[in-house]
Structure 1
Amino acid sequence: MGAKTVNKLVVPGATLHYEVAGDGPVLLLIASGGTDAGVYSGIVGQLAAEYTVVTYDPRGNSRSGYDGDPADESVEQSAADALAVIDAVGADEPAYVFGSGSGAITGLELITRHPDRVRMLVAHEPPCTEVLADAADARAFFEEVYSTYREDGLTAADVVYMMGTGMDSDAMPPLEDLLPEYRELAERMQANAANFYEHKLLPFTRYVPDLPTLRRLADRVVPAAGMESCAHLPGRPIDVIADHLGWPVVMFPGGHSGYSRHPAPFATHLAHLLKTDTV
């Protein structure tokens, strides 16, 4: 796969940390929520045998610091950041894009606004719950998580969030039980949690995708979910989006974080899926 390079990219209001490995067509992996490039470390090596794999820390997370004070996230700005990373490594060629969670929402906005820059988008469980028939209930849940964070702190908010999204089974073991490299990642994610609840949770979960535009781009959008998590809140919106696209949901191994829990089969499944590209 060759050596991994670590880079910095200045964008309006932030400096993004991004990493590049491998050679071939560009494959951008967009991290979710309060995570960073490290969550994809288990699948990068396998994918880098055929692709130039690019990962990055979303603005405000880990090593991608804000220029000034933190501010509420804009999905439009998040998509602009993803485009800037693609432009930095991919010249004029469109990129393959995989995003999970809020990273999938970023991908949906990216292909909606810049369809010429995305060769294929695999959107894995975007929690854009406004498309659901029970959107009011989902909205109330995320507002409860936010208010719990503001009133009772991070630990209480984590409990409400994990239980309500079905991610309690994805909880990491105690830090002392982790290998050093995973302990470092877990510590970074813990440090990102407050910014996630304060500035990212509500803007992303309130995102309304442009379904008519996505339908026109349906040949390049792959709706995806985890086999163990598709029935939970973050996985449900992709069913609605898939109906509008006219495609079935592609199931991946594991749950919402299957790429970290089952990296080898997840990467194999993604690599096979990318080969179905006909654009």
Structure 2
Amino acid sequence: MDSRSDDTAGARTLEVPGARLHYEVRGDGPLLVLVGAPMDAAAFAPLADLLAADHTVLTTDPRGINRSGLDDPAQDSTPELRADDLARLVEALGRGPAAVLGSSGGAVSALALAQHHPGAVHTVVAHEPPLIELLEDREELRRGTEETVSAYLGGDVTGAWRMFFANAGIALPEPVIEEMFGGERDPRQVADERRWFAHEMRASSYWQPDLAALRSAARIVVGVGEDSAGQLCDRTSLALAEALGAERTVFPGDHTGFVEDPGAFAARLRSVVSAR
């Protein structure tokens, strides 16, 4: 079922196995998909609005996040499941194959899409995928991930975020962490955050790409923020690019540069996508 609303962004719902995907469509032209995990469609809205001037832009809430409900809330969110969802969305629009910008866990989703559904995508821009299995210190990073998840699920929210940022190589002052994650918070944000810690973080971080399949499936561009030097996702991005023999392209900002400066990010993304 594909139902539409009168939302100016073209909000729709697609029924897929085990879930109902909220997605939004803007503009007209070649299909460009913007996807995160766990980031939802709203995070990409300013970027999507800009890119809609010359593209059909698809954004979505990943399964189990915000408006994309699950039949089984205890189901883990794997890159393969999210890739299947993306393939079904591209098929529903009938405008594939698509260019896909995936950020963070969404970059892992986009790589899994190219690996398992190569006909759905012609270009993947994998922006800072947290693929720790590609790094030599993967065992230490896995331990840090497990400790972080355990702390969060044990009720130490700010402590878990403190560990997360330390593991990611992102320096945030303690008052900032307390302000962001302590005290009263939006219930929807908390629910999505808990799902990420409980059912998504491990599957995304521990995913091991089939490098041979990716080399033959699509054009892969590995993106990294110009302000992310030395951070974990800078390291994983470099490792992925070297393993694939792929382009490593610098984007404005850091891990969430598309949020901080969507105009500059859109200009860079256009140049990357049009270069194929």
TM-score, with normalisation over the residues of structure 2?
0.89
Are 1:273 and 2:272 an aligned pair?
yes
Are 1:253 and 2:252 an aligned pair?
yes
Q: Which amino acid aligns with 1:269?
A: R
- Cα pair distance change 1:66/1:212, threshold 3 Å: same
Q: Please report how far the alpha carbon of residue 74 of structure 1 lies from its aligned counterpart in structure 2 after TM superposition.
A: 2.0
1:127 corresponds to which of 120, 127, 130: 130
Are 1:208 and 2:212 an aligned pair?
no
* 1-structure distance, mates of 2:188, 2:51: 24
1:143 corresponds to which of 143, 146, 165: 146
Kept in 2: contact 1:154–1:194 (CA 8 A):
no
* 2-structure distance, mates of 1:126, 1:251: 14
RMSD: 2.3
> Deviation digits for residues 255-275 of structure 1, max 9, x if unmatched?
101100111101110011111
Pairs within 5 Å for 1:104-253: 104-169=107-172, 188-217=188-217, 220-253=219-252
Q: Please report how far the alpha carbon of residue 64 of structure 1 lies from its aligned counterpart in structure 2 after TM superposition.
A: 0.5
* 1-structure distance, mates of 2:187, 2:169: 22
Q: Please report how far the alpha carbon of residue 98 of structure 1 lies from its aligned counterpart in structure 2 after TM superposition.
A: 0.5
2:18 corresponds to which of 8, 13, 20: 13
Kept in 2: contact 1:166–1:229 (CA 8 A):
no
* 1-structure distance, mates of 2:95, 2:133: 34
* 2-structure distance, mates of 1:273, 1:189: 32
The residue aligned with 1:27 is 32
The residue aligned with 2:3 is none
Q: Please report how far the alpha carbon of residue 119 of structure 1 lies from its aligned counterpart in structure 2 after TM superposition.
A: 1.4
Kept in 1: contact 2:97–2:119 (CA 8 A):
yes
> Which structure is richer in relative contact order (CA contacts within 8 A, separation 6 or more)?
1
* 2-structure distance, mates of 1:7, 1:262: 27
Kept in 1: contact 2:31–2:95 (CA 8 A):
no
Kept in 1: contact 2:131–2:204 (CA 8 A):
yes
The residue aligned with 1:67 is 71
* 2-structure distance, mates of 1:135, 1:196: 20
Q: Which amino acid aligns with 2:240?
A: I
- Cα pair distance change 1:133/1:150, threshold 3 Å: same
Q: Which amino acid aligns with 2:202?
A: L
> Taking every aligned residue pair, what percent have the same amino acid on both sides?
35
Runs of 5+ unmatched residues, structure 1: 176-183
1:152 counterpart SS class: coil
Q: Please report how far the alpha carbon of residue 168 of structure 1 lies from its aligned counterpart in structure 2 after TM superposition.
A: 5.0
1:79 corresponds to which of 64, 83, 86: 83
Runs of 5+ unmatched residues, structure 2: 1-6
Q: Please report how far the alpha carbon of residue 227 of structure 1 lies from its aligned counterpart in structure 2 after TM superposition.
A: 1.1
2:222 counterpart SS class: strand
- Cα pair distance change 1:20/1:174, threshold 3 Å: farther
* 2-structure distance, mates of 1:166, 1:53: 32
Q: Please report how far the alpha carbon of residue 163 of structure 1 lies from its aligned counterpart in structure 2 after TM superposition.
A: 3.0
* 2-structure distance, mates of 1:166, 1:26: 34
* Corresponding pairs, count: 264
Kept in 1: contact 2:13–2:20 (CA 8 A):
yes
Q: Which amino acid aligns with 1:120?
A: T
* 2-structure distance, mates of 1:194, 1:153: 12
Kept in 2: contact 1:75–1:106 (CA 8 A):
yes
